[in-house]
Chain A
Amino acid sequence: MYFRFITSLMLLLFAASAKRVEDFFLYIFFSFRMLATRALSLVSKRVISTSICVRGGHGVAKVDDYALPSYFDRRENPLPDVRFVTDLSPVQKSLKEKEKGSWATLSNDEKIALYRISFKKSFAEMNKGSNEWKSVVAGMLFFIGVTGLVVLWQRKFVYGPVPPTFETEWKEKELQRMLDMRINPVEGISAKWDYENKEWKK
């Protein structure tokens, strides 16, 4: 293990003494290649290919788990790209062997076990609804309520007094002034006031 590491390190240092540019890059390439082959075997067990992908002499692209085909339960994709269970126990392996023979010899439990190896949830389980919506609506109402409390607090402690023009007495005088001015006398407010009897028209 260390041999490879030391050799690649020496190659790297030797590259500094290369006479030609091509040789220099060649040494770099091979030193990394030696390191990379070691690194590749440390990467996840799900490495599909054993050949190394070298990019411009800079090393190997590590195969990330999320980039590999994954399993997912969806109605519109009934047969996912991979099986759900990838590492089979000895029992499951023997069951898989039995599957190669006649399926009529399999018991119901064995058939269910085979299904569960390949798939996580059945269609019934996949399509089952949940009660999550209740939590969502409850959360919504709660936060609307908190906002209401905040608004009430603001009215009491943050906002200053309202202008005097809102007082009842002021408003009465305002209305009287509007009627005296005959505001909207055709179809609006003055039209609804009975000037003879000094009251609203019935």
Chain B
Amino acid sequence: MVRERRDLYSLPDAPLASRCYSHSKVETDEEFDARWVTYFSKPDIDAWELKKGMNTLIGYDLVPEPKIVDSALRACRRLNDLASAIRILEAVKDKSGPHKDIYPYLIQELKPTLTELGISTPEELGMDKL
């Protein structure tokens, strides 16, 4: 539902090769989500891994599910990096492009996490304006 068209051909972390052949196993949406949630849930994730993961995820033709973003925000908390947390929210908003209803949905789903971790949205900080 928040997924547009998934790019199956360039997953750097994919354990299985996804090709265009109809007989091979294609990763489902749930598997994709689970894989990324696991990636960001690593307890001793380091700053580089967070950056690499986030930049790769933003490179895909999709808006990440709330649970993936939640996992990433918690990783930011473990790394004591509030700026990256806010940046991630900006990035997923930018990723939704012309579909203006995706970001409010995302924020609505993430609200408990945002209040728990004390992350302000870019809108609350006035950073979405110039």
- Which of the residues A81, A102, A106, A112 comes within 8 Å of B51, measured between beta carbons? A81
**Would you call B87 and A115 a contact (CB within 8 A)?**
yes
Residues of B within 8 A of A159 (CB): none
A-B contact count (CB 8 A): 81
Q: Which of A103, A108, A114, A125 has the most CB of B within 10 A?
A: A103
B33 at interface (Cβ–Cβ under 8 A)? no
Residues of A within 8 A of B118 (CB): 102-106
**In the complex, chain B residues 103-130 whose Cβ is within 8 Å of any chain A Cβ:** 117-120, 122, 124-130
**Would you call B120 and A108 a contact (CB within 8 A)?**
yes
Residues of A within 8 A of B88 (CB): 78-79
Residues of B within 8 A of A128 (CB): 130
Shortest beta-carbon distance from A124 to chain B in Å: 5
A105 to B94, alpha carbons, bound, how many Å? 28
Q: How large is the interface on B (under 10, 10 to 19, 20 to 34, 35 or more residues)?
A: 20 to 34
Residue count of chain A within 8 Å CB distance of chain B:
28
A108 to B58, alpha carbons, bound, how many Å? 26
- Which of the residues B55, B58, B127, B129 comes within 8 Å of A115, measured between beta carbons? B127
**In the complex, chain A residues 115-155 whose Cβ is within 8 Å of any chain B Cβ:** 115, 117-119, 122-125, 127-128
Residues of A within 8 A of B80 (CB): 99-100
B90 at interface (Cβ–Cβ under 8 A)? yes
- Whose C-beta in chain B lies nearest to the C-beta of A116? B83
- Whose C-beta in chain B lies nearest to the C-beta of A105? B118
A105 to B80, alpha carbons, bound, how many Å? 14
**Would you call B90 and A112 a contact (CB within 8 A)?**
no
| CB within 8 Å for A118 and B90 given contacts A124-B127, A125-B130 | no
**A-binding residues in B (CB < 8 A):** 50-51, 54-55, 58-59, 77, 80-84, 86-88, 90-91, 93-94, 117-120, 122, 124-130
